[in-house]
Amino acid sequence: GAGVSQSPSNKVTEKGKDVELRCDPISGHTALYWYRQSLGQGLEFLIYFQGNSAPDKSGLPSDRFSAERTGGSVSTLTIQRTQQEDSAVYLCASSLPGTAKKLFFGSGTQLSVL
Amino acid sequence: SQKIEQNSEALNIQEGKTATLTCNYTNYSPAYLQWYRQDPGRGPVFLLLIRENEKEKRKERLKVTFDTTLKQSLFHITASQPADSATYLCALSSTGSYKLIFGSGTRLLVRP
């Protein structure tokens, strides 16, 4: 596709359930980021993938959060045993490899935990 | 601790005026700084990138300055238009790091 695609666009779940959020980056972009944005707040870094290198997981808030990137393309962010404080917009971005590269963002997944 | 600060209050200006947004940071040595625009319900969109050895960057009606002594970046929109109304986010990254850290953004409202 022409841009970064995220699905679903909205997800409502019950506390304690697991959720999976998907990100399909721009073709050829080997770098992929996940961020979280709470209402009225800035973007909180979660995890970064670059090619076949080990991901930078330093932003994951707890061990309930995990992410994988299969085949260097599509990425899935999984939140286990969701809590109400996990409610936020989860944004995925991709870029060309290297530093000083601009990020291309998807429209995000709005997660609501009831 | 490391901080990136942007005005949390909305900036409300008249169409045609210049909007100036501020991004201050502490305990960072950024190699470069980026500005993004975010509209409601959408992901941020890249606007400009400025490196630590650059003082100023321009693109059409946009201008960014970067003062590593003051630890501050200013983002200017000249001849502002109502369509410029959005939230503007600054983001920075340290030397050798791929991690881009964002400020909380400033909302700009341009009145017709």
Three-class SS state of B112: coil
Cβ A90 vs Cβ A20: under 8 Å: no
φ, ψ of residue B86 to 5 degrees: the values are 180, 180
The arithmetic mean of pLDDT across residues A76-101, rounded, is: 93
What is the mean pLDDT of the segment spanning A84-105?
92
Q: pLDDT at residue A41 above 70?
A: yes
Rounded to the nearest angstrom, the minimum Cα separation between A5 and chain B is 11
Asked whether the beta carbons of residue B104 and residue A48 sit closer than 8 angstroms, the reply is no
pLDDT at A114 over 60: yes
% residues pLDDT > 70 (chain A): 99
Q: What is the pLDDT of residue B29?
A: 85
Q: Which of B35, B48, B97, B98 should we substitute to test contact with A (largest number of A Cβ atoms within 10 Å)?
A: B98
> Tokens 């909302």 sit at which residue?
B107
Task: State residue A1's pLDDT score.
Answer: 53
Q: Choose among B108, B89, B95, B65: nearest CA to B5.
A: B89
**pLDDT single digits (tens) B14-54:** 999 999 999 999 988 888 999 999 999 999 999 999 998 99
Among chain A residues, CA nearest to B92: A100
Amino acid B30: pLDDT: 87
**DSSP code per residue over B36-98:** EEE-TTS--EEEEEEETT-SEEEETTEEEEEETTTTEEEEEESS--GGG-EEEEEEEEETT--
Half-sphere exposure of residue A28, counting CA atoms within 13 Å on the CB side? 4
Q: How far is B81 from chain A (nearest CA, A)?
A: 23
| Segment A58-81 mean pLDDT | 94
* pLDDT exceeds cutoff 60 at A88: yes
Sequence letter at residue B42: R
Strand spans (E) along A1-114: 5-7, 10-13, 19-24, 31-37, 43-50, 65-69, 75-79, 88-95, 104-105, 109-113
Residues composing chain A: 114
Q: CB distance A108–B43 less than 8 Å?
A: yes
User: What is the phi/psi pair of residue B62, to 5°?
Assistant: -105, 140
Burial of B29-68, coded b for 16+ CB within 10 Å and e otherwise, reads ebbbbbbbbbeeeebbebbbbbeeeeeebeeeebbbbbee
Contact A48 B44 (CB under 8 A): no
**Rounded to 5 degrees, what are φ and ψ at B82?**
-55, -30
How high is the pLDDT of residue A61? 94
Closest CB to B102: pick one of A40, A43, A56: A43
Q: How does residue A37 score in pLDDT terms, banded at 50, 70 and 90?
A: very high
Neighboring chain B residues of A40 at a CB cutoff of 8 Å: 104
User: Which two structure tokens, joined as six digits, stand for A6?
Assistant: 């995220």
Q: pLDDT higher for A103 or B3?
A: A103
Nearest-CA neighbor of A45 among B92, B75, B73, B38? Answer: B92
Q: Report d(CA A19, CA B28) in Å as an integer.
A: 35
State residue A14's pLDDT score.
97
Paired residues of A24 in beta bridges: A5
Confidence of residue B1 (pLDDT cuts 50, 70, 90): confident
pLDDT value at residue B45:
97
